[in-house]
Structure 1
Amino acid sequence: MTDSRVSIAVTGATGFVGSAIVRHLLERTPYRVCVAIRREGALIDTRAEAVKVGDLAPDNHWQALVAGCDVVIHCAARVHVLSDMAADPETEYFRANVAATLNLAEQAAQAGVKRFIFISSIKVNGEHSQPGMPFHADDQARPLDPYGASKHAAEEGLRELARRTSMSVVIVRPVLVYGPGVKANFRNMMRWLDKGIPLPLGAIDNRRSLVALGNLVDLVVRCIDHPNAANQTFLVSDGHDLSTTQLLQRLAHALGKPARLLPVPMHWLTGLASLLGKRAFSQRLCSSLQVDIEKTRTLLDWTPPVGIDEAMNETAAYFLEHKHHG
């Protein structure tokens, strides 16, 4: 008997975003889900079909993954890190995020895949926005580091592919994603707050857009078959911007801890961070990065389904349950 379900292939299925997308899809009966894995024994949901493809490389053979698929959701990437230890980070980013992505997309188009959803990054727009001037999806791209530049180059290649094939492309640029299991700086902030460490971050007057994992997943799933998504670029956030100080206050409340925030002037913080070689980190804490999601709301008739306090509570609950496990 022929399987009539819509078939979705997902790369990066063991990652923070990819695994959440897979879980969501598997709970919705219309979908057959096939995931790319790098090696045998990868921890994936056993309800999904696994295809071993190896590392994200320009010469991968993707036929076993994309054959018979309707949609590819490409989450796999060489991700941005503050301290990249590679000898030539730019080459490595372009190898994984551009050459490998376009190789996958070409093979997907040849296999008859109808839609390719690419998880890009807000870093294509830039590192920070001016006060009261949020980024828009169709703004001129202004990436400032190799990671953002590689994502932009991949977007351009995908748009060109969409013009010469019958496969549509959807580009989604998330801002900072948080949710249960989040790592890196967001988890560090929860760790500091949980330990009651006084932080000199009580007077940060900026605005940052964030996106809860559940909201990002909901949007990606909306893009699977929405006709207005074809060949469009979307920004995604919770639709509720916070200052760094407000974020820490809400996180502390979710953790059930007092927020011990000292009102140190921002220019003192940035000056000290520069002296300590932490300028990039202080910029993330003190600068603004806002996005306008009106295009996303209007074209896709989409509203973020998860409220920011609900998402913070879920994130904090997971952290508290797992904080002693690394």
Structure 2
Amino acid sequence: MEKETLLSVENLSIDFVSEKKSVRAVENVSFDMKQGEVLGIVGESGSGKSVTVTSILKLLPQNARYAEGKILFKDKDLLPMNERQIRSIRGNEISMIFQDPMTSLNPVFTVENQLVEAIRLHHKMTKKEAKAEAVRLLGLVGIKEPEKKVKLYPHEFSGGMRQRVMIAMAISSAPSLIIADEPTTALDVTVQKQIIDLLKNLQEKINTGIVFITHDLEVVADIADKIMIMYAGEVVESGSTETIFRNPLHPYTRLLINAIPKENKESGRLPTIAGNVPSLADIPKNVCHFADRIPWIPKEAHEKNPQLREVEPGHFVRCTCYKHFHLKEVKGG
């Protein structure tokens, strides 16, 4: 039996407007995911991935404008909803885990106080019942001795433990979708893996969909069913995780994969991607946005108005430059 579509984003474009001008932050982004699926959205800072996902819950700053598109959650378009309507979905049916839990947890209240408040916001429970549920949730996310730890303040937890508290808070409402915005960035590699494994196990247990945002392609390799690569506000490649790693095509995707540290790689300088993502004000129109960062292939290899095309079933790539691309030799230093 095929799973129902949980979230469908169609031709989403977002502008940031100031007194002087308007700049396009996200351009014609489309994707969909089914119930229980994990979508990894990957790209460097400034690629548009966080703007894309925060737009789902209408959490963008006041100067942001939805230029066009639809965001369908369980077949309901979220964009026309007013604040009262979107708040009934935000935190209830769609939860969000942010990058830095210390900015999301209140330092003057215990973890118990904050979890109980979140639980009672979504469920009709007495305070005693909510306290018991808070202990259960902390145990579910792998915190040992949850009966004791629940009484602590956020600063008494390690970074990894604080992130587990945020995950407990996110799943307290049994949401259909969790948006995880770079939840492992501030953590060391070992703790990163623990958090990834935790999310993977929870996803399997409660069958929630997860949108996982990261700048590190390796992070989503084991958890994502599908991967979407973003650059300068556009989707440049998307497909199943197996396809992206088996047959990466866009130069950006190939360079991201090439930059993943490999255990058996000879010692030397780690491959990096030269240059930077252009600022919103400097993104050129109707050209391949990645051209400046791969100057060793001919200019005529790039389309004048690059399109996202399906090159094999379910595998989409933007611009024909991938047909001419080769990795540049990087000498050890």
Both structures adopt the same fold (TM-score exceeding 0.5): no
If each structure's strand is expressed as a fraction of its own residues, which one has the higher value?
A: 2
Using CA pairs under 8 Å that are at least 6 residues apart, name the structure with larger relative contact order, 1 or 2. Answer: 2
If each structure's helix is expressed as a fraction of its own residues, which one has the higher value?
A: 1
Q: Which has the larger radius of gyration?
A: 2
